[in-house]
Structure 1
């Protein structure tokens, strides 16, 4: 493998990681949004557990 091929692969992986990271950040918009999303998910799991228990 040539040194140039390795650099191009590394650049492609870095670009992909950046795009995915930015996508994740914009999905929740803010840290507060992440907290609300996590809280909603926790409540849904809790509700499902309560339903299964009954």
Structure 2
């Protein structure tokens, strides 16, 4: 689980979104990745 949190944090840092809309899209993508990871376990 800690790996997943680190991965999500890295995605936010690397994406460098500049707008609220971009941040919302990044959050949505991160949520989808978390859901996919949860389904695999």
**More relative contact order, 1 or 2 (CA 8 Å, 6+ apart):** 2
Say whether the fold is shared (TM-score over 0.5): yes
Q: Which has the higher helix share?
A: 1
Provide TM-score, normalisation by structure 2.
0.59
Unmatched runs of 5 consecutive residues or more in structure 2: 1-12
RMSD: 1.4
Detail structure 1 runs of 4+ shifted over 4 Å in the superposition: none
Larger Rg: 1
